[in-house]
Amino acid sequence: MIAGQPHVVIIGGGFAGLWAVRGLASAPVRITLVDRGNHHLFQPLLYQVATAGLSAPDIAAPLRHILRAQRNVEVRMATVTGIDANAKRIELDDGTALDFDSLLLASGATHAYFGNDHWAEHAPGLKTLDDALDLRRKLLLAFERAEAATDPAEREAWLHFAIVGGGPTGVELAGTLAEIARHTLKDEFRNIDPAQARVRLIEAGPRVLAAFPEDLSAKAKRQLEKLGVDVALGTPVKEINADGYRLGDTFVPAKTVVWAAGVAASPLGAMLGAPLDRAGRVQVQPDLSVPGHPDIFVAGDLTALTQANDKPVPGVAPAAKQMGRLVAHNIRARLSGGKTNAFAYKDYGNLATIGRMAAVVDLGKIRFSGVLAWWFWLVMHVFFLIGFRNRLVVLLNWWWAYWSYQRAARIILGRDEKTR
């Protein structure tokens, strides 16, 4: 990197941040990529780590390794503690500060409990690798606790798994959990029958996969029920504690509740002093810049932007990648005195897998489900993984799981209060 070149700071090594860095590879700038972790995460497969189908390194790659050949970028593993938009400076948790000429904030989203943040202790969400590893441990331990329980009511509570939220993450978790209980763990326990585990998917709205057409939502529901998932629609959860959850007026004993019902924007967005929507996302200009700060951009899940059809841009990986590429173009344009472009989301469709040989695909005019949809989902997810090694390992793991019903990462790590 050459001193004196414009300094571009990018916060977040997710899809938006990484694609922006790559888009600036040949630009006469020096880039600092700041992220709390040292890796880029392929979030669409995070549930596979949580359900022991894949290991953490299978869906993640070190940022330094990904960017090793791009000489104009420096990676900093740090947490941003402050942003001064007027002074063009960010502060880091190690006490240092970075001045910038252009800034991209792409720090993503976190869990949203709709004013019930105290539920988080008993209903973990799924956004990071740490979340996935913690959840995997929680799910696998539930069967162990049930095996050791002597009281029938306690055993039933350990074998009740509730997933709150009927979007893609909730649907994929519910379907996979049902398969684990009915196939993967078959004949492995002596005091319980894992197939008797109850997996319930709870959605406050009228249907699962609300972003999909109604016919595909109905097919997804039928496929879930075929796997043995109890799908509860139209009633919100009113309470979650260590003993279970309240659905409507009924309290249901359950030791494992998973939250997949909503997301909130990263708190870093509020540091910009820009207008926010109700979810805390930054209301950006059409070119993804912040009002009043043309050299500061926001991309990914932190962005509140409406499309030409009056629908919000969805918080999905393709949208984040497209935003990252556009921000790279617009930073180049700003620095050269050119004109920036407005963001126009290209919707290539939606995919969701329900379980073994079952998925739904919406490509606009083309919709299909079942076995063909499952193969399409598999190919697309392997294709978009970063790194040949990750693609190969994921393919091998899925091939083995398909033929054997076994899941390769069923090791319980760590200790809890009961085992100390």
Q: What positions carry a catalytic annotation? A: 172
Task: Give the residue carrying structure tokens 């078959």.
Answer: 186
Q: Which residues pair with 163 in a beta bridge?
A: 201, 258
Q: Whole-angstrom Cα distance, residue 279 to residue 411?
A: 36
* Cα angle value 241/243/125 (rounded, 5°): 50
Q: Whole-angstrom Cα distance, residue 222 to residue 396?
A: 29
| Number of residues that this document lists for the chain | 420
